[in-house]
Amino acid sequence: MFKIEKTYPILSLICFFATLLMIGGCVPQRKIKLLQEEANVKDQAQADVLLKIIKLQPPVYTLKPGDVLSLQIRTTTPAENNFLAAPATTFGTERDPLLTGYTLDENGNLNLPVIGNVNLLNLSMQEARVRISSVLLPYFEYPTVNLRLLTFKYTIVGEVLRQGQFTSLQDNLNLMEALASAGGMTPFANRGQIRLIRQEGGEAKIYMLSLLEDDIIGMKNYYIQPNDMIVIDPLPARFFRENIVQNFTLMLSVVSSISLLVWRFTR
């Protein structure tokens, strides 16, 4: 007759490994509690110690045909004479900035009421503000120009909490800020090999970035550009966990159940 002896050691071994996993996943409270009076945690950082200086290389974005700009003018000219003032909105409604913005035509011209075309092609945002201010002087007293790019869109897919297309109102967005807008990376994100896909001159250029070293902060591609796509691939550990570990856990559970049943019927 079929009989299995000594089932107790098997169950004891399973409990032993389960206990090890539970202990290994524990984190002492002193390592996670903030602003303790006496932390006494080994290898703490010191706030006033400068670790490293990295020279930044933020790119200067230049305006291109198709860019949509938000233009706001502050001036001492009476409001009734301000033909560039934003239209009033009804309470409880919101205007789509892309619909109320100014689009640069195929020649890079910004068409303003009364004034006409103002060419902003290949100008930086600061240079564009200066040029617009100069053409406003005959019409407004002490004009101050607030200019923002509304078409700074980028896409993030892969191992982030929220995949999708995002819009930024700043023209010097860096990789960390972009990933933060997507909710950050998942625990299985491959932080050492991040693909940046950029469209330039009718070509798709692919760059590989790594967030494992702080030197990335000083690189040009640390700052993203409009229409960039960021692809976060998973680590091999994800495949291992979702396939090998889960299957092994299921198998271990089945073996444990069978062993327990056999022990009960053969005791």
Q: What is the pLDDT of residues 91-115, one digit of tens each?
A: 444 455 555 789 999 999 999 988 8
Question: Residue 149: beta bridge partners?
Answer: 69
pTM above threshold 0.75 = no
Tell which residue, 263, 179, 256, 265, has the closest CA to residue 14: 256
Find which of 52-61, 73-82, 220-229 is predicted with most confidence, using mean pLDDT. 220-229
Over residues 154-182, the pLDDT tens digits come to 999 999 999 999 999 888 899 999 999 99
- Local structure of 204: helix, strand or coil: strand
* Class level of CATH domain 68-149: alpha beta
Give Cα 97 distance to the centre of its chain: 22
Same fold, 68-149 and 152-234: no
Domain ranges of the chain: 68-149, 152-234
Q: Looking at residue 169, what DSSP letter applies? A: S
pLDDT at 216 over 50: yes
Confidence of residue 80 (pLDDT cuts 50, 70, 90): low
Across the range 175-199, mean pLDDT stands at 93
- Please, which residues have CB within 8 angstroms of residue 45's CB and are 6 or more apart in sequence? none
pLDDT at 250 over 80: no
pLDDT at 13 over 50: yes
- Output the CA angle 237-243-244, nearest 5 degrees: 80
pLDDT at 131 over 90: yes
Confidence of residue 4 (pLDDT cuts 50, 70, 90): very low
* Class level of CATH domain 152-234: alpha beta
